Amino acid sequence: MVGKSRAKPRTRGRPTAKPLTKPLTKPRPQWLRKIILALVMVGLVIPVSLTLIYRFVPPPITILMIQRSLEGKGLDYRWRPLRKISPALAQAAIAGEDARFCEHHGFDFNALEKAMAHNERRPGKIRGGSTISQQTAKNVFLWPARSYVRKGLEAYFTILIEAGWGKHRIMEVYLNVVEWGPGLYGAEAAAQHYFHKSAANLTQLEASRLTAILPSPLKWRAAKPGPYVQKRSRRIGGAMGTVREDGLATCVL
């Protein structure tokens, strides 16, 4: 008698474990996200925001003003709109500091090449090639010390103000924040200190003398100037005629 074959007992198999899948990319650590956000804020949001604000609002103070105040040189800073500053001063600034101000877009590479060639020939008398736009960017947003980092930031802010302000506003800010002597900032403070008059009433001679001391305002004086400042002032005064005749200040006046 053939017996019935016993059915093999059914065994419950263990559920097959699903293979663990690793994420393709690991999430960034929290500290890295904070660093990236901080860099974006410092490098983009803050500079652009300040540039937009100062397009309409006078800069309240600059790093150089703070530094000079801590050195005991005082602080005389009086903002005046460009329409209340003698046109002769803007013409003198273009004649003495940046003849192609209305033509370039923030950088004058021809002037920079000439300055480099001059500095190689006469290393004891360094000549700068910065435009009024670059000087404005430095004066408003940055510190005065020379370094590659500062020069790089200066170029960045120059691009921002050229794009966001325009030439009229750049000249207006420049004439109001530039250093004209110990504790003197802007055309109004300089005019009152040196000539006892408003910046609106500056003559061509006075404007040329003010511009003549800009390379070294802590050393030179616009009132009762020495031989070098007088010579430089005469040269600027002559160049102001070219500025007017050739329309080199039309973007400002």
- Say what the pLDDT of residue 24 is: 56
Contact present, 86 and 199 (Cβ < 8 Å)? yes
Residue 213, domain member (yes or no): yes
CB 175 within 8 A of CB 186: yes
Which amino acid is located at 230 in the chain? Q
**Would 167 be classed as within a structural domain?**
yes
CATH number of the domain that residue 213 is part of = 1.10.3810.10
- Residue-level pLDDT at 26: 60
Report the C-alpha gap between 19 and 236 in whole angstroms: 81
Q: Is residue 136 part of a domain?
A: no
Residues of the chain with pLDDT under 70: 1-28, 39-43, 113, 115-128
Total domains, the chain:
1
State the residue range of the domain holding 91. 32-103+163-245
The reply to whether 119 falls in a domain is no
Specify the pLDDT at position 193: 97
77: which DSSP letter? E
DSSP character for 28? P
pTM here?
A: 0.82
> Does some domain include residue 68?
yes
90 within domain boundaries: yes
Residue 12 lies in a domain: no
Question: Does residue 250 lie within any of the structural domains?
Answer: no
Read off the pLDDT of residues 129-177 as tens digits, 9 standing for 90 and up.
799 999 999 999 999 888 899 999 999 999 999 999 999 999 999 999 9
pLDDT of the residue at 124:
58
The pLDDT of residue 112: 72
